Amino acid sequence: MSTSERLIESTRELLWERGYVGTSPKAILERAGAGQGSMYHHFKGKPDLALAAIRRTAGELRAAAERVLTGPGTPYERVEAYLRRERDVLRGCPVGRLTMDPDVIASDVLRAPLDETLDRIRELLAQIVEEGREQGQFPASLDGEEIAAAILATVQGGYVLARASGSPAAFDAGVRGLLSLLAPHGTPSALPEA
């Protein structure tokens, strides 16, 4: 892995663990095993490196969500696959954690990749709900945008509850509850304990 790649990956990890303020250039260099001038050789400074790290984190999350949400299956099955996909629940969402960082949110530049990612996931979810309504799988009364927002809120809120309790059970309970509300009639067996 090149020095610039090590710097980006180290910054990603530190942003997730410590936030923007807690991610010092010294900590980045130590984690990356890079020399003192390396950051400034490859990047203009901490904000530039943080932006590269945030873009990569947001892009990976967006790509993972897109793979599930545009994959095979009925609308319900794709929503279920998104909600049940493999996550490190107790560590939290790398994008969600950054949205709670006041220094990231205060910067239009650093916040932009996060906004784009959440908007794209919400857009895909809304399309799936509309598709499910058209197919008669979801009630006609559901609003795609509102359900998409509820799905994202369940995921992000589930992370918070799981971290607060020290157990993924709260996340799993939120997912099961939302899926039971969305489940087509006659499919409760699709909701096993996770």
Domain assignment present for residue 44? The answer is no
Domain assignment present for residue 161? The answer is yes
Query: For residue 163, how many other CB atoms are within 10 A of its CB?
Result: 17
Domain assignment present for residue 138? The answer is yes
pLDDT bucket at 194, cuts 50 / 70 / 90? very low
Domain assignment present for residue 41? The answer is no
Residue 185's pLDDT is 61
Domain assignment present for residue 1? The answer is no
- Provide, rounded to the nearest whole percent, the portion of the chain with pLDDT above 70: 95
Full 3-state SS string of 48-71: HHHHHHHHHHHHHHHHHHHHHHCC
Domain assignment present for residue 33? The answer is no
Q: Residue 133: give its domain's CATH number.
A: 1.10.357.10
Residue 171's pLDDT is 96
pLDDT in tens, 136-193: 999 999 999 999 999 999 999 999 999 999 999 999 999 999 999 999 865 544 444 5
Range of the domain at 169: 54-185
DSSP string, 15-28: HHHHTTTT--HHHH
pTM, two decimals, is: 0.88
Q: How far apart are CA 135 and CA 189, in angstroms?
A: 21
User: Average pLDDT, stretch 26-44?
Assistant: 91
The yes-or-no verdict on residue 72 having pLDDT over 80 is yes
17 burial level (CB within 10 Å; 0-12, 13-18, 19+): middle
Query: For residue 193, how many other CB atoms are within 10 A of its CB?
Result: 7
Domain assignment present for residue 61? The answer is yes
Q: How many structural domains does the chain have?
A: 1
Residue 107: which H helix or E strand, with range?
none
Domain assignment present for residue 58? The answer is yes
